[in-house]
């Protein structure tokens, strides 16, 4: 199972679309554990994504509460 809830092999296009949209602030709503882990891992990898989510690009600490709030309401 992938980190966003289902195996990519079952429907690669849908999996990739969902994975991409999940990174849009305000799109996801309430995150499950896998979705949260996926977003946090992507935020750790990308300074520009951190900026898009309202974090300083140099931020080392990414608060779970803040990630969840941005996923629900945007920035």
Please tell me the pTM assigned to this model: 0.82
Four-CA torsion 57, 52, 40, 23, nearest 10 degrees: -150
Q: Is pLDDT of 32 > 60?
A: yes
| 3 in any annotated domain | no
pLDDT band at residue 63 under the 50/70/90 scheme: very high
Return d(Cα 62, Cα 73) in angstroms, integer: 17
Query: Is 43 inside any structural domain?
Result: yes
Please provide the average confidence, as pLDDT, over all residues in the chain. 88
| pLDDT for 4 | 60
Distance CA 56, CA 28 (A): 21
In a domain, 32, yes or no: yes
List, in sequence order, every beta strand (DSSP E) within the chain: none
Domain that includes residue 40, residue range? 8-73
Domain count, the chain: 1
User: Which DSSP state fits 7?
Assistant: -
């Amino acid at each position: 199972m992938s980190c966003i809830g289902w195996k990519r092999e079952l429907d690669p296009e849908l999996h990739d679309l969902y994975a991409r949209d999940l990174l849009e602030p305000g799109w996801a709503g309430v995150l499950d554990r896998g979705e949260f882990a996926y977003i946090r891992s992507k935020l750790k990898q990308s300074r520009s994504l951190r900026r898009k989510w309202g974090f300083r690009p140099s931020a080392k600490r990414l608060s779970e509460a803040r990630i969840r709030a941005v996923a629900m309401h945007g920035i």
